[in-house]
A and B are shown apart, each in its own frame.
Chain A
């Protein structure tokens, strides 16, 4: 499988990359780790005249932790997320989720920026970013702007990023309390049949705050404030978890595909959400 021909560019800073993107218009795409884009190009489902490889842009690399503010460069790979001890201390859910993505070889190449910017409902990080209430930093011809992860996803592969913008970093506040990223997949390398990200804060034996989000159960990642509301103030017992799971299931809209019919996906989603809440609570 050989992709169609393209011109290759490897700029060394964001400004050059952004001006290339503006000049070349919709014939150009940026390349991060390439593990979503290259397979699509090989299948000739993506026709790209100009590929702008971001690998030499140092400003897109690195993880910075300033108090409880975490900023992760778009070109940080899943393997780097997993290996970063500082990140594991303040936001261990990143490592837990990244370890469930694809396989080791893909994690060496696949980046956080590519994972969140691609808009594939099967990608795990967008769901997690809903739970965290993260912000995405975008740079375009008119400068930089920030878009809330919860406002970013419009439909499958459709996001708030403009054609001439580059997603440069992800920023969030380190979440206090318990966490879990729970995922069911058919096999290594597959996307989730269902996955859930849950964050829970505990005070005096009760849920002080919660955030619940899901992956691959709609054409965008799903954040469920109703599920969080069903948990808040409770002892996170079986009754509360059942109510929260039901609330979360009311927010999803899965479609039938090779991972199963809708009824099966709803069944799996219910189990995954319940497990994620239980595990997050046990760590709160």
Chain B
């Protein structure tokens, strides 16, 4: 659940979601759920001449399973905190097993 919590800290920030079909969607992160499905507001698709399929879409829900990358502004991420949290979660899993 670490990355679910992590993505929740990025709500209202601008992110770029790259799908597994190379489509890049930029938008403001509105919500995320436990499957890492992502909802974006005020979206724009990169290369609109090549991908005009979604020009009339302003708000979209992206299924977590089709996401390849989520590109973030490094200013929004405290990498040390994230590393610590990852380590703690890994230890918890080890401890439980």
Chains A and B belong together in one complex: no
Residues of A within 8 A of B (CB): none
